[in-house]
Amino acid sequence: MDGVEALLTELRAALGRDAVLTDADVTAAYRHDMMPLAPHGQPLAVVLPTSTGQVQAVVRACAAHRAPIVPRGAGSGLSGAANAVDGCVVLVTTRMNAIVEVDADNRLAVVEPGVVNLDLRAAVEKHGLFYPPDPSSYDWCTIGGNLATNAGGLCCVKYGVTTDSVLGLEVVLADGSLLRTGRRTVKGVAGYDLTKLFVGSEGTLGVITRATLALRPLPQAPATLVATFDSTVEAGAAVARVVREGVVPSLMEIMDRTSIEAVERYLRTDLDAGAALLICQSDSGGEAARRELAVVEQACADAGAGLTYVTEDLAEGRELLTARRSVLMALEVYGAWLTDDVCVPRTRIAELITACERIAAELGLRIAVVGHAGDGNMHPTIVYDPGSADELARARRAFEEILAVGLALGGTVTGEHGVGKVKQEWLATEIGPVGLRVHRGIKRALDPGNLFNPGSMFSC
Amino acid sequence: MDGVEALLTELRAALGRDAVLTDADVTAAYRHDMMPLAPHGQPLAVVLPTSTGQVQAVVRACAAHRAPIVPRGAGSGLSGAANAVDGCVVLVTTRMNAIVEVDADNRLAVVEPGVVNLDLRAAVEKHGLFYPPDPSSYDWCTIGGNLATNAGGLCCVKYGVTTDSVLGLEVVLADGSLLRTGRRTVKGVAGYDLTKLFVGSEGTLGVITRATLALRPLPQAPATLVATFDSTVEAGAAVARVVREGVVPSLMEIMDRTSIEAVERYLRTDLDAGAALLICQSDSGGEAARRELAVVEQACADAGAGLTYVTEDLAEGRELLTARRSVLMALEVYGAWLTDDVCVPRTRIAELITACERIAAELGLRIAVVGHAGDGNMHPTIVYDPGSADELARARRAFEEILAVGLALGGTVTGEHGVGKVKQEWLATEIGPVGLRVHRGIKRALDPGNLFNPGSMFSC
């Protein structure tokens, strides 16, 4: 173990003793993210650098000692991408949490990767600006993790995913050199789009140490609509009609019967929602918002909605969204949960929900489907008893069957959570042998020693 | 020349004799694009495949005979990226011009690369849908060329560039295999974002044979504002104020004094515009459009506008845009033109225009600056006498000096036209040695024989 000791000595010299954790009790907190199905190993150390220079020192030391590096933000991920592998160094970016610059006149911010999403949102809001990406964990996830996974959220239907808000990056490469990608301008086509190659690469190509992010004007206060349906087919038809009518809401979420029942029990309320609930917002303001939601309301009615309700009252709108935001907590009453993530064409949402009902019945599980209906990104959430090996096995089977259904419906095996250490085989199925070959070629070109997050996303 | 004859025989066998052009008089039309400064060589053949299978056959034959391939659409490019190199095969995609599918319910289209931008716009408009990217050559450029260069246009300030409208691609790689990237869903994070890596790669990594494009709802009919200024500083301040006020117009163009004078002479009209003209549109419709343009009008007035005028009349709005659209034709009265392409932070537009005035004075040239003020992408256009070697040399010097100014202002050396065969050294300057190394690594990983567009963008 001389090599390990030598590496630890180098890491301590570069970062200070406080920033190099080796006690297994302490490093345990950094071994895995929020995905229970993904494997995780035992790191030889967890390091918490505070600067790009320190990240470079860690990368160079690990490269010299052939110790794999697993980059990690807050650990809110849902694919195991940040899970430790045996003998690795987990590189945690949470201490690099400076908002370096907010340039309101050019609508951009420069941040370190450890900045918490909510902190950035709050900081730019003071300038009347808006950073759209809003994963559910926005109050504790980091921008670095959002970049690594190309995170989405409720905003995506109108504002896109993380990659749509990134202008440029600073990345430490496998040889310790520092790559600057992109620019500070709105447009630019100088060379390959390396920025968007690194976004979503799940820590397999380098360590992002700084990002230049595009901001938007703060939208108007949202108006909110809810609609209830007696069948998922009707709710799915309503979504398709909204898309067809050319409305782009700022939020359009769907909850199936199982989610509705769980939330009704949890919040001790009667949503009177039947088989499906749609929640929709417009942040276009005033007459434009009224016009948009009127189109949505008509589309819901035409599709057979039982009840529709529109409000411009902010507090009431927030309350209506509470049902959607409470689903995961509501499910915890029944057991542990496991969230899947498939994205299907928006015309196929009802078919996905129906298939999840079938899978739940066949495997004797509770599966609640919630999702971003506006972009087809569905999160069937499987409830299971973590103490029962049999139930965990059935949950895992449901997880896989849902992915197969998503692909069969013309969708993708991950809309926003990523591949990580739980969907490698599904990635291979989705992209095929040529796609996999190209992935491996790019990985080899950038990380020939397979230093970064080995075995995650795909095997080399 | 046995090898050449063997290659030509293989190409003719695969594509038919009509699709393999070798007569120098005929191939001359395919030797270069619209950028006069870029070098161009003599191709050994120009091929016009009609299917993906034929493209694969061309790639395999050329790879076997080590003949470089230069992919090309309509040749409307402004960087020489599609220019022939000596002994190459120019692969023209214009015969692959099928709109394979318009899926209105999922707001997407599947097209072959030779589809003309305008034809796609017209086809999807019938479904109430909108394909935003609108380069100036939209009535004759092809989607394949737009993808290869990540083309922009007037729409970008609100709707982004080409890459923002691409969901997936089919690409023939250097070994003739067919790569499928991306998906048909709105979101998806399965693997590296290969789609956005190929978009803007200027034909150096493969041949795009099919694209799945995201469409938007047709926007409302635009309302239009024009504002005149006595100085470029005031006009620049107006742009900065509009950005700061949080308005996102659907179009915001700027013309400097030289452009205005040329257009006044060409259209025999008095624009009464002084030193700078801003033209701005909102396609938000009704009250929302009025609200947006009222903010723009106030911002212009506060910045010192001489005159502002707003109209909701479509025909009148189109007429006001005519001034902007006539600049290049108006400049042809004075000589040939050469359009540069830099993108600067939106707060630095006035400085760029002022620098162009200085460069024009120093070099004794007419330089008209027009540009997409809303995103900072400026097109200083240099007028020169193509019969004068001295004037062409000065034009080239102006072209380079403008790039240096763009970089010094925190900008990029190309906002939307690309690097091609005219800005390789500037790319190297902008991205630095680490960036260049990563570019070369990716190129080698995907095209180890340097088959595609060798010497374009960067040298291997």
Q: Model confidence over A212-222: pLDDT tens digits?
A: 999 999 999 99
For the packed helices B286-303 and B232-244, what is the interaxial angle rounded to 10 degrees? 140
pTM above 0.90, yes or no: yes
* Residues B163, A415: C-beta atoms closer than 8 Å: no
Q: In what order do the strands lie in the sheet with A89-92?
A: A20-21, A45-47, A89-92, A69-72
* Residues A190, B445: C-beta atoms closer than 8 Å: no
Q: What's the pLDDT at B178?
A: 98
10 Å CB burial of residue A12 (0-12, 13-18, 19+) is middle
Q: What's the pLDDT at B1?
A: 53
Interface contact B448, partner A, CB < 8 A: no
**What mean pLDDT is reported for chain A?**
96
Count the Cβ atoms, other than its own, within 10 Å of residue B24: 10
CB contacts < 8 A, A to B, total 269
Interface contact B126, partner A, CB < 8 A: no
List the single residue in A284, A412, A427 with the smallest CB-CB distance to B288: A284
Residue A1 has pLDDT above 70, yes or no: no
Counts for chain A of helices (H) and strands (E), in that order: 15, 19
Interface contact A459, partner B, CB < 8 A: no
List the single residue in B191, B248, B286 with the smallest CB-CB distance to A431: B191
What phi and psi, each to the nearest 5 degrees, are found at residue A71? Answer: -75, 150
Which residues of chain B are under the pLDDT cut of 50?
A: none
Residues with Cβ within 8 Å of A44's Cβ and at least 6 positions away in sequence, in order, are A4, A7, A8, A22, A67, A87, A88, A89
Q: What's the pLDDT at A274?
A: 86
What's the pLDDT tens digit per position in A11-68?
A: 999 999 999 999 999 999 999 999 999 999 999 999 999 999 999 999 999 999 999 9
* Residues B180, A446: C-beta atoms closer than 8 Å: no
Q: What's the CA dihedral at A45, A51, A55, A60 to 10 degrees?
A: -110
Sign of the CA dihedral running A52, A54, A60, A63: negative
Interface contact A77, partner B, CB < 8 A: no
Interface contact A377, partner B, CB < 8 A: yes
List the single residue in B180, B288, B438 with the smallest CB-CB distance to A179: B438
Give the pLDDT mean for A76-81: 98
ipTM over 0.90: yes
Q: What's the pLDDT at A129?
A: 97
Give the pLDDT mean for A262-284: 92
Q: What's the pLDDT at B338?
A: 95
> Is the separation of the CB atoms in A435 and A442 below 8 Å?
no
Per mean pLDDT, which range of A400-404, A416-420, B282-286 is the poorest?
B282-286
Interface contact B201, partner A, CB < 8 A: yes
Q: What's the pLDDT at B427?
A: 98
Nearest residue of B to residue A108 by CA position?
A: B345
Write out the E strands in B215-290: 216-217, 223-229, 251-256, 276-282
Count the Cβ atoms, other than its own, within 10 Å of residue A199: 30
Assigned token pair, A347 = 């015309």
* Residues B441, A439: C-beta atoms closer than 8 Å: no
